[in-house]
Amino acid sequence: MRIAMFLADTWGMHDSDVGWGWMTVMMLGMVVFWGAVIFGIVWFIRSVERRGPSTGEAVMRESPVEILERRFAEGAMTPEDYRARRQILANGGADPKGARSEVPPSTSEGMSQ
């Protein structure tokens, strides 16, 4: 019974003021509360940033020709490379000389056997 009275007095149950036990609990509670609030705000901001453009906005992607033109403008390729690659893109897979780059029928037959 004496231990119960000691603990009750320690936690401020018999006096009109709050003892050190309740002060500790309230202090820890406030730290947890504000930590949760700050974590929630940071989580919300990071999730909005990762989402990217909203569904109503069209996502702009460069076409292969636009990428080729940008790389040529940046100086990443020579004019000859640009012309050759532009012709390949325009002809749908033809090499710069105009011949289609297909596997000859005799080679494809030999590979299937």
The pLDDT value given to residue 12: 56
pTM: predicted TM-score of the whole model, two decimal places: 0.34
Contact 94, 69 (CB under 8 A): no
Query: Which residue type is seen at 97?
Result: K
Burial class (CB in 10 A: 0-12, 13-18, 19+), 3: exposed
The pLDDT value given to residue 107: 42
Percent of the residues in the chain that have a pLDDT greater than 70, as a whole number: 57
Average pLDDT value over all residues in the chain: 75
Return all residues near 8 (Cβ < 8 A) that are at least 6 apart: 14
Q: What is the pLDDT of residues 24-49, one digit of tens each?
A: 888 999 999 999 999 999 999 999 88
Q: For residue 74, which of 89, 90, 62 has the smallest C-alpha distance? A: 62
Mean pLDDT of 70-99: 82
